[in-house]
Amino acid sequence: MTLSLHVPIKGMSCARCADRIERGLNELEGVKASVNFALEQGALELEQPQQLGAALERISSLGYQVEQETQQFAVEGMSCAACASRLEKVLAREPGVLKAEVNFSLNEARVSGAAGVMTPARLRDAVAAAGFTAHFRPAEDRARQLQEQAAREQGEERRERFRLIISALLTLPLLLGMAAMAGLLPWHLPPVAEWLLATPVQFWVGARFYRGTWRALRARSGNMDVLVATGTSAAYGYSLWLLFKLGPAAMGHLYFEASAVVITLVSLGKWLEGRAKRSTRAAIVELMALRPQQARVWRDESWQQVAIAEVLKGEQIQVLVGERIPVDGVITGGESELDEAVVTGESVPVLRTIGDRVLEGTINGSGVLELEARAVGEESNLGRIIALVEQAQMGKAPFQQLVDRISALFVPVVMVIALLTGLLWWQLNGSGEQALMAAVAVLVIACPCALGLATPAAVVTGTGAAARHGILIRDIETLQRAHRVRAVIFDKTGTLTQGRPSLDQWHGDAADLRLAAALQQGSEHPLARAMLAAVDETLPQPEDLKVHVGSGIEGRVAGHHLFVGNQALMQRAGVVLSGGITAPAGVTRVWMARDGELVGWADLADPLRPESAAAVAALRARHITSWLVSGDARAAVDHAAEQLGLDGAFAQVLPAGKVERVQQLQAQSAGLVAMVGDGVNDAPALAAADVGIAMGSGAEVAMETASITLMRPDPRLVVDAIDISAATWRTIRQNLFWAFIFNTVGIPLAAFGLLSPALAGAAMAMSSVTVLANSLMLKRWRPSAR
């Protein structure tokens, strides 16, 4: 079946561009295309939906743009992980969809595809056709979406609890019948009474299993509902047939209690599972709760309370004592101690004054502040944190994809095993009752709920715990890799050091220092800021600036052509270094040339962070090597490496050289290599490393490139990131063990008649609860590198 799409294409300047794109697309196998320059779109005919990705890649490779978007929405009605897997396949087949992820633990879906093609209406219809309900909200109203989702789930929990109580009350008398069959009581309930008690449990309490079975059969797939509905219906139907056939003589031969007990226990397990799932989402809910709903904004010559969604960049905002900061901004008036623990994990209040940056969600402790809004809504630091945590929690580990494939085959295989079990028992002893009970027990114990929950429950809880302690993990692949790191490369300035170097000594005339400081106005490098801070006067503006990344800066000030930078820059500029080549230990030396001649040099000191030594020691205790790669001078780098006890250090390394060092260690190391940095010049190395770790206090490009962001400048968080990765994957392995052990031990026991349906139901419920309870243990994780 051919799929027809109209995809918007940007960047075409003439009809010839459209022809070029059209030819490129028609070269792809299974794709027919026509591109209209006037409409700025391409009409695609695809033999398979999966060919859309190749088509979009071809358009991008030709230099044109196809806008992509991501839709994230809540899904109501999933009963187990198999439902999530089935819905993923349904969404992936929709026109315009490139990737679909459905998380059963979060009851959410995230779908990426071509903008304008993959519409919410189409996705909602696809979800409905699969038997579920989609709830959409605009991205800027994410908090309300979560609140509404929580309200729906709480309402459903109350209804489930009511049904569960009624089910337990109706099932309890039936247990007396089981006791009588075991010889513990001298009498049985009348058969009609058993039927009257069991029927509401089967068809009212158990209606959810029939609805889930109908949805699964419509989609030609299997899930937990199919197993429960089939097994309990067989026991109920067989008992009803005996009741009609034998009447009162059927007393003691009915199995109404088996179906009722299974439904009650499975419902209990699902209710407990739902409560635990909501606990795993606590990190997102807590982060959302940090966002104030209103802000006090200066408008029309007065302070006015407005909804936070209405605040614009550049507006002046007032924050009173005890209030949360509503946006990311810069203080323009007042000073106060801020509690930043909720965002950075730092427990000690931090003094912030005019010119300092403040973050949304932090608490104003001691003074009235006025600030200018710099980032609002999803663009704020807290907004990015929430997005990163959600992105990581929605991801799927490679072996979770294998688990999903196993689960998809699991139900039909179990159905065959149950059928064979029943037939063999029938042939061996001719007892239809024993054959039925063994088959029902196989169906019930085999429910793959725990298997589907093993990975997502641990990932959601683990990433949430990491976020609460100031560690943002971008995706699940990073979470999987981090615990296998065996070598860590640190940048020096701003990473292992405080990043606030100061001028220790200037060798030269004061007038030349003034010129050097004026030139540094065009640089954001910490060494440049240190020289600038040493001159407390009005400076002339530089011209013709040229930044030499990793070396220094060049430009004109007051008619002079200046170079300020390291030895490599001086050599490229043809400047002869007549003195001062050897710098004292722990000092970075920066040279200054004026009009081609050396006129002075500055000795700059950047003290180590007090936590750096502890971080290196903690890595060594975990048998992880530590390396220092910096663009600073050899003496300063070696001094830092000696103080910290690093395994090796490389000085005067340019950004490209940092990438080479990462690649060298990757070739030599038995495990993976992590790079830790905070500057623009670290971005290439962060991208090249197996795990890139950025300091949250550093440059935006570093944080965007890295796969882990540390929300406070503490190198010990590097160790903590590795530890939470290890703890999460240890929990996943434990979860998979428990999930598999219940099935691998339980199915043979049930097939041999050693496990009753009631015990099978209890074991199945216990498997899911065990997996979720084990995952929730991660909420108690605390950093150990202290």
Active site residues: 491
Q: Is 51 helix (H, G, I), strand (E, B) or coil?
A: helix
Please give the Cα distance from 533 to 290 (Å, whole number).
36
3-state DSSP helix/strand/coil percent for the chain, to nearest 5? 55, 20, 25
Burial annotation 319-351 (CB, 10 A radius, 16+ → b, else e): beeebbbbbbbebeebebebbbbbbbbbeebbe
Please give the Cα distance from 229 to 259 (Å, whole number).
9
89 neighbors 405 (Cβ within 8 angstroms)? no
Output phi, psi for 349, to 5 deg. Answer: -60, 145
Compute how many other C-beta atoms are within 10 angstroms of the C-beta atom of residue 507.
16
Output phi, psi for 113, to 5 deg. Answer: -175, -165
719: closest CA among 645, 620, 608?
620
Q: Which residues is 488 bridged to in the sheet? A: 626, 674
Output phi, psi for 546, to 5 deg. Answer: -145, 115
E strand intervals along 534-621:
543-548, 552-557, 560-565, 588-594, 597-605
Edge-to-edge strand ranges of the sheet holding 336-339: 350-352, 336-339, 363-364
Antiparallel, parallel or unpaired: β 97-103 and 108-114: antiparallel
> What is residue 185's DSSP assignment?
S
Q: Is 397 helix (H, G, I), strand (E, B) or coil?
A: coil
| Half-sphere exposure in the Cβ direction for 666 (13 Å, CA) | 13
Q: Is 610 helix (H, G, I), strand (E, B) or coil?
A: coil
Edge-to-edge strand ranges of the sheet holding 625-629: 471-473, 708-710, 691-695, 672-677, 485-490, 625-629, 648-650
Please give the Cα distance from 711 to 346 (Å, whole number).
9
602 neighbors 507 (Cβ within 8 angstroms)? yes
Please give the Cα distance from 261 to 167 (Å, whole number).
9
Antiparallel, parallel or unpaired: β 485-490 and 672-677: parallel
Within the chain, what is the greatest distance between any pair of CA atoms?
A: 114
Please give the Cα distance from 1 to 629 (Å, whole number).
56
Please give the Cα distance from 478 to 725 (Å, whole number).
9
Q: Is 609 helix (H, G, I), strand (E, B) or coil?
A: coil
Output phi, psi for 610, to 5 deg. Answer: -65, -20
Q: Which two tokens stand for residue 352?
A: 């912030």
Q: What angle do CA 305, 307, 310 make, to 5 degrees?
A: 110
